[in-house]
Amino acid sequence: MGPAQANRASWTLAAPALMLLLIGSIGPLLIVLVYSFLTPGDYSGVQRPFTTRAWEQVFLTRDIFDDTLSWADAHLTIFWRSVKLSVLTTVITFLLGLPTAWFIATRPRERRALWLFLITIPFWTNLLIRTIAINEIIRSEGLLNQVLGWVGAGPLNLLYTDTAVLIGMAYVYLPMMVLPMYAAIDRFDTRLLEAAYDLFANRWQALAHVVLPVIRPGILAGSILVFVPSLGAYVTPRVLGGGKNMMIGNFIELQFGQGQNWPLGAALAVLLLVAVGLALAIYVRVLGGTGRDDG
């Protein structure tokens, strides 16, 4: 079979899958882009003419009386909350995930599989179920407040706060951070540490100057795996944040539901997509700089 023939065979075999993805994923994204330039319909949906109104609405509000433009504070609050909570989630999962990944990677080979399996179970457990489980812990009569009651500390009203959303996201995305870091640490040559000790580095110096730079690709992969879904999170803020503590994902939903402003929702969706694309692009760029794309 010649190369041209082989090519045609490959494409023919891949075509059904590509068709499905075109209908079920890629194609609709293009429609979202078009919708972001339309006018809201009378009840729902959209109508013509094409405008940039929705995009303007993303950041600005027009006063209904004197037609002046001002910053859309409500939107900016939601954007800020999304970015803040996503960054914090990434930092927390890193701080907790690094020791965990290190711990697993330094277990005896036979027992490592068990520890990995223990990380993998929550990783695969339905995100909604894990969010409900966290709800069970932090709600007012939950386990946390019962324990606090026994030790005589006052009850915490965590549920439906930003902190609740943060706890929930750190909990559900932690395994995403641990697994790639584990893969990186697993390949780490511990003789480098011995060399560092020989050169009179203490443990923290060795960690900062030897371990972290070497496992950087794993850290970056873990961070992107946590940051990207955090930014688009929908279920966790909805269940733990209540109606008020929305993130971009919930705000997009609002526009397609009660808000009845599909073009604005579409523009927000495109914006989210661009933000995620940007994060991925930076990730690829930074990783390219390390010259270690050996996965």
Partner 1 sequence: MAERRFDPTRLPGFATVAVAVFVMLYLPIATLVAYSFNGGESVAVWGGFSLDWYGRAWANETVKAAALRSVVIAACASTLATVLATLAAVGVVRNRRMKGRAVVYMAINQPLMVPEIVTAVALLIFFASVRQATGYQGLGYLIAAHAAFCVPFAYLPISARLEGMDATLEAAAADLYATPRQAFRHVTLPLLTPGIIAGAMLAFVISLDDVVITEFVKSAGQDTLPTYMLAQMRRGVSPEVNAISTMLLLVTVALLTAFFIINRQTNRGKQRKRPQSLPSASRPWRCPRWPRGS
Beta carbons of 101 and 95 less than 8 angstroms apart: no
Closest distance of CB 56 from partner 1, Å: 20
Contacts (CB under 8 A) with partner 1, residues 50-89: none
Closest distance of CB 88 from partner 1, Å: 16
Residues contacting partner 1: total by CB under 8 A: 116
Instruction: Choose, by CB under 8 A, the member of 234, 259, 260, 286 that binds partner 1.
Output: 234
Beta carbons of 40 and 263 less than 8 angstroms apart: yes
Selected range binding partner 1 among 25-33, 49-57, 67-75, 149-157, rule: CB under 8 A? 25-33
Instruction: Choose, by CB under 8 A, the member of 225, 246, 254, 267 that binds partner 1.
Output: 225
Contacts (CB under 8 A) with partner 1, residues 250-289: 252-253, 256, 262, 265-266, 269, 272-273, 276, 280, 287
**DSSP symbols for 55-104:** HHHHHEEE-TTT--EEE-HHHHHHHHHHHHHHHHHHHHHHHHHHHHHHHH
Contacts (CB under 8 A) with partner 1, residues 164-193: 171-176, 179-184, 186-187, 190, 193
Beta carbons of 81 and 162 less than 8 angstroms apart: yes
Q: Which tokens sit at 247?
A: 């993130």
Closest distance of CB 201 from partner 1, Å: 10
Closest distance of CB 207 from partner 1, Å: 6
Beta carbons of 38 and 51 less than 8 angstroms apart: yes
Instruction: Choose, by CB under 8 A, the member of 238, 254, 261, 264 that binds partner 1.
Output: 238
Beta carbons of 266 and 31 less than 8 angstroms apart: no
Among 292, 202, 280, 261, which Cα is nearest to 58's?
Answer: 261
Among 40, 50, 56, which Cα is nearest to 256's?
Answer: 40
Closest distance of CB 85 from partner 1, Å: 12
